[in-house]
């Protein structure tokens, strides 16, 4: 696609429910990143994919969070048994090669998650 | 520990005046340096980056940034601010041996007419 696409743009859920957030990166981009942005805060790194592999999952806040990427393309971030503190904007970004390069990231518009 | 600091939560500038958004970092070696901008209700967009060479880097929308190795700073600047520049600005740094970007907390820039 022309840009990084995230869906849904907004998600309201009840505490304890599971949610799935989707990211469709730019075609051909091998690196994919998930970040979380809380109100008034900077970006919190969650997970990095290089192709279908996730060399770094260290940013996932708890075992309720998981992510996968299939076909080197679409990625899904799943949050199980959501808690109110999970409320935030979840951002996805992709880049062509990843690794320790100087290339820029392309961001999606994010999913605003609200846990009631 | 590696870190990026944006010491000002908010910067207020009158339209037409020059603006500066500050960024300092603590990262080993010679990192790559980036600025991103987040307009209201829109995704983060790349503004500019420093790789090597000339310390003054020019980017989108008339912005530029000056790399200062001795002060480990990468301040964002614009000679004449526009109201449309009002947004959230993030500084980010990448260690050349690592994939991970280290982000500042962001600075809210408000340009008043």
pLDDT, tens only, B67-101 = 999 999 999 999 999 999 999 999 999 887 777 88
* Token code pair at residue B1: 């520990």
SS3 A85: helix
* Token code pair at residue B26: 């603590």
B97 touches chain A (CB under 8 A): yes
Give me the total of CB pairs closer than 8 Å, taking one residue from chain A and one from chain B.
Answer: 52
pLDDT, residue A103, reads 85
- pLDDT digit of tens for each residue in chain A (116 aa)? 589 999 999 999 999 999 999 999 999 999 999 999 987 677 899 999 999 988 888 889 999 999 999 888 999 999 999 999 999 999 999 999 877 678 899 999 999 999 99
B59 touches chain A (CB under 8 A): no
B107-112 and B10-14 beta bridge pairing:
parallel
CB atoms A41 and B94 under 8 Å:
no
Contact at 8 Å (CB) between B23 and B73?
yes
CB atoms B103 and A43 under 8 Å:
yes
* CA distance linking residue A109 with residue A71, whole number of Å: 22
What is the least distance, in Å, from the CA of B32 to any CA of chain A? 6
SS3 B85: helix
Contact at 8 Å (CB) between B21 and B6?
yes
């Amino acid at each position: 696609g022309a840009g990084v696409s995230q869906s849904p743009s907004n998600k309201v859920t009840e505490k304890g429910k599971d949610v799935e957030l989707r990211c469709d990166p730019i075609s051909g981009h091998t690196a994919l990143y998930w970040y979380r942005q809380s109100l008034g805060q900077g970006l919190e790194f969650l997970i990095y994919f290089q192709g279908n592999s996730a060399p770094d999952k260290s940013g996932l806040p708890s075992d309720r969070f998981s992510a996968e990427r299939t076909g080197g393309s679409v990625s899904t971030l799943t949050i199980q048994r959501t808690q109110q503190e999970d409320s935030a904007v979840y951002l996805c970004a992709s880049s062509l090669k990843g690794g320790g390069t100087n290339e820029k990231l392309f961001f999606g518009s994010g999913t605003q998650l609200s846990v009631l | 520990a590696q870190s990026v600091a944006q010491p000002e939560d908010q910067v207020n500038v009158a339209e037409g005046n020059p603006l500066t958004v500050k960024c300092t970092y603590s990262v080993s070696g010679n990192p790559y340096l980036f600025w991103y901008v987040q307009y209201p209700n829109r995704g983060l967009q790349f503004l500019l980056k420093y790789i090597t060479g000339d310390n003054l880097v020019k980017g989108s929308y008339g912005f530029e940034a000056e790399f200062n190795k001795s002060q480990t700073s990468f301040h964002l600047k614009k000679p004449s601010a526009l109201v449309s520049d009002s947004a959230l600005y993030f500084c980010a740094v990448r260690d050349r041996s690592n994939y991970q970007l280290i982000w500042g907390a962001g600075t809210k820039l408000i340009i008043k007419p």
